[in-house]
Each structure stands twice: as C-alpha cells, then as structure tokens.
Structure 1
Amino acid sequence: MTFSICVHESYETPDGESHERFGVAVTTRLPGVGTLCPFVSENAAVATQSLVNVNLGRRGVEYVDDGLAVEDALEALISADDGAPQRQLHGVDADGTFTFSGEECVEWFGDREGDHYTVAGNMLTGESVLEATAEAYEATAVHGTTDPVTGPNAAHSDDDDEPDPLAKRLIDALAAGHHEGGDKREELAVQSAAVVVESTESHDMTPPYNDLRVDASETPIADLRETYDLAMQGYEETLVKYEEAYEEDSLAGTE
C-alpha cells in the first residue's frame, strides 16, 4: 500500500489554549486507499498498509483512546496477527511513536521514526521516497508553539511566516515523496490518496479540509491538493457568509 506519514503536533492558540492534533496522509497505486489505511482520533494517528488489515488501524486507535501507549497498543496487535510478516503498521500518540515492517513486505520497503512523526512504505522506487516525505514534513512541523492559523475564524493566513494547516502540509509531504519516485508500479494507472486530521480544538464549523479522499484518479496527489484548495475556499466563504448565525448559535443558552 505504497507510502504514508503519521504525525502528532501540540500547539497553543492565540487565546492561550493548548491543543493536540494528529494526522495521516497516504497514497497508493490502487483505488480507495482512504477507506483502508488512515485511522485518526484526538489521541493517535495510525496507518496500516502492505497486506492491509484494517483492524490493526481501527483497534490501534481505540486502544490508545482507552489509555494504552501507541507502542504497547500496536506491538500487541502485531504480535497477535498471523499475517504480521506481510504487514506494515506505524503510528504516533502524544508521547511516542511505533513502526513495524514485516520481513515479507515487497521491496523496496521500510519505515522511519522522527520527532513526533513516522513514515513507512512498500513497493517503492527506493528509500529516498520516505526521506523526501519526512524532510518535507520536518521543514514545516509545528510542535509546542503558538499556531496563529487555527481557530474557528482563522482557517487561512497569507503571512509566509505562519504555518499552513496540517492537512495541507501532509499533502505537500506526499507530493515530495511522489516526486522522488513514489510507488514503483507504473503499470497501474488508477491511484488514490487521502488525508485525515483530528484535533482537540473546537470550531464553529468542522473544517472539511481535514478529511479528504481521492479514490480513483491517475493524478491523486495533485487532485487531493486541488480538492483541499476548494474545501478551504468553501470553508472560508461559509464562515464569512454565516458569521452572524454562528455567533448567535454560540450565545444560545447563555445569560
């Protein structure tokens, strides 16, 4: 199932509130990867790939939500999985990371752990795919800093010094890996990509750009980026158009 990245970021909004967010981005030369690989909650981000077992991702996130460390949760699931030699599983929680690549995954395969992120891939043109993905994310990572582009009415910033939303940065990381060669199966024309982000921050309107999929395309990453741009535009326009309604709703029930 090609390559993916899982990340955790902690940040502080301008009003002084501390938050956590988690995200997964993935792409492959098969349709519908968004239904199989990425699993995210307010506590963890997990990706399951190679010979996919969706229960590893689903239960991994559930275990972390129940209080297990991501290392313990995913290690336990892999240890109990008869198909482990053909699996790839990786993820992050607020305190740690975990990566696993079974010895029977198809070359080139591998994984990498970084500061609050993991990357993994199989059937790639080479290790440089993961290196490029990781480096692209590292260059824009947000952790333990004030994030001025978050918040219900601050979806976007034109200031080059301010970070883009995590979903956009994850798509850019996929693009960097794809530019290095990505999935080596060039005979497969139908491809897909997905990005999912969850955070502890509340919004007047849930940002649609945090959960996007391109299920069948010959240019999935470019299409995912275009979909992101349109979703961001629609979100900003909706906030402006219905700002008064959101304010009235937020005051409902107060005295």
Structure 2
Amino acid sequence: MTFSICVHESYETPDGESHRRFGVAVTTRLPGVGTLCPFVSENCAVATQSLVNVDLGRRGIAYVDDGLAVEDALEALLNADEGAPQRQLHGVDADGTFAFSGAECGDWFGHHEGDHFTIAGNLLTGESVLDATAAAYEASAVHEAVDDTSGSPRDGEGPDPLAKRLIDALAAGDLEGGDKREGLSVQSAAIAVETTEEYDVTPPYNDLRVDATETPIADLRETYDLAVIGYEDTLDRYEEAYEADSLDETDE
C-alpha cells in the first residue's frame, strides 16, 4: 500500500535553544493507514508498509529511543523477519537514514534516501510519485535554521509548521499519480510530528488522521486547518491556565 515520507529537522528557537523534530506522513487507497504505518518519537521517525508489520515500527522506535542508530535498528528487525521480502521499511534519526523495499512488493515500488529524509512507496503509478514528493519537501525543508514555533503557527516570519509541509509533500505525490489502485475508493492519510521543544499547550495539528474518505489529502488539509484554528482559540482563552496548571486562571 501507499507512499510515505519520514523527515528529521534541526532548528533553533529565537532564544538560542537547539531542538530537533521528526515527522511522518502517509496516504493510501485503504482505510485506517494512520493506525498501521507512521511511528515517531523525539529521536526518530519510521514508516512500515506494503505487507504491514506494525511491530517493525513500534520496535524500531523503541530501539532508537534506547540508543541504537536507525539503520542498525531497522536492519536488525528485518533480518529477523521472515516476511521481509514483502515489506517496505524506512526511517530517519538525528544522524542518518535507512530505507528498504523487499523484492516482492507490488509494482511500482521503490524508495529514496535524501538529506535528512526518506520516501518509499509501492503499488504506485510510477517513480515520479516519489520524485514529486521529495521535491515538494526539499523546497521547504528546515535544517540548522532559526524557527519561531511559539504562539500561532502563522504569526511572524519563517516556515510553515512541519505538519503542513508534510501534507503539501503528500499532495505533490498524489497529484503526480499516487497509489494506482483506482478501483479502491475508500482511502486514508495521516501525519505525526514529535519535537524536543516543550509547549504549555501541545499543538494538536502535529498528530492527525483521516481514516476513511474518498479525498484523504484534501480532508487531512482541512483537518489540519481546523486544528490550527482550535489551537489558536485555545491559546487565546486558556494559555494562562495551562501555564499555571490551574483552571482558576480562566473564567470558563
């Protein structure tokens, strides 16, 4: 099933603190992809697909969180997996990338490792789907840059939030052809982002899924836009309460 992108970005906040973030975005012509494919932590991002084995994602994240390099963690898991020829598995950590496509994945299938990101897909209309996804992300990638992520996602100068840029990358790949199984109308999409930066109010737009729809990327974008509005409304009304960890700071 599908195509997905895993990314690592490093940045500084205006006060000089260094942070990193990881993200995964995925879409497919099947329902519920967000429950199966994307895995993310403050240390890495992993996507498991084709004949999905969710244990590869869960254990891959756990191994990297415990200190293994992403390539060592995912390679070890594949070596112990009898179904590896039918799997796709890829991911990034702060220092490297890893991507694997088993020889028995559905045509067209393949993967790409770029600077701080990986992309993989199977049952696609062609390699150009991955090329378009990569180009869209690379055009807006953030690395070793100053990025003010406080407050509203659209206050001030700087890049769009990673979640939005990942949706844009999926949209570019889908426009290029995407998943070739046109006979499957029920589709899904998801994004997940984690960062080392702490927030008084956790941005809800960093973990979104559309589980069953005929227009997954458009619906995911609409869900993202609504989540941003909800986040801004929450900051306006409840930020002082969250900072004080007490509802006494708000009148509602």
| TM-score (ref. length: structure 2) | 0.96
Distance 1:245 1:195 in 2: 28
Asked if the contact 2:200/2:239 (under 8 Å) is kept, the reply is: no
The aligned length equals 246
Identity across the alignment (%): 80
Q: Does 1:18 align with 2:14?
A: no
Distance 1:230 1:158 in 2: 20
Asked if the contact 1:22/1:199 (under 8 Å) is kept, the reply is: yes
Distance 2:129 2:213 in 1: 21
Partner of 1:138: 138
Aligned to 2:230, which of 217, 223, 234? 234
Q: After TM superposition, list the pairs within 5 Å mapping 1:142-153 onto structure 2.
A: 142-148=142-148, 150-151=149-150, 153=151
Distance 1:248 1:57 in 2: 36
Q: After TM superposition, list the pairs within 5 Å mapping 1:65-80 onto structure 2.
A: 65-80=65-80
* 3-state secondary structure, aligned to 1:111: strand
Q: Which contiguous aligned blocks of 4+ residues in structure 1 show a shift greater than 4 angstroms?
A: none
* Residue deviations 1:106-130 (CA, integer Å, cap 9, x gap): 1000000000000000000000000
Partner of 1:253: none
Asked if the contact 1:157/1:164 (under 8 Å) is kept, the reply is: no
* 3-state secondary structure, aligned to 1:242: helix
Q: How far 1:88 moved relative to its partner?
A: 0.1
Partner of 2:154: 156
Partner of 2:163: 167
Partner of 2:60: 60
Unaligned runs of 5+ in 1: 251-255
Partner of 2:181: 185
Distance 1:233 1:242 in 2: 14
Distance 2:239 2:107 in 1: 52
Aligned to 1:200, which of 193, 196, 206? 196
Distance 2:60 2:240 in 1: 41
Q: How far 1:64 moved relative to its partner?
A: 0.1
Unaligned runs of 5+ in 2: 247-252
Name the aligned partner's letter for residue 116 of structure 2: H
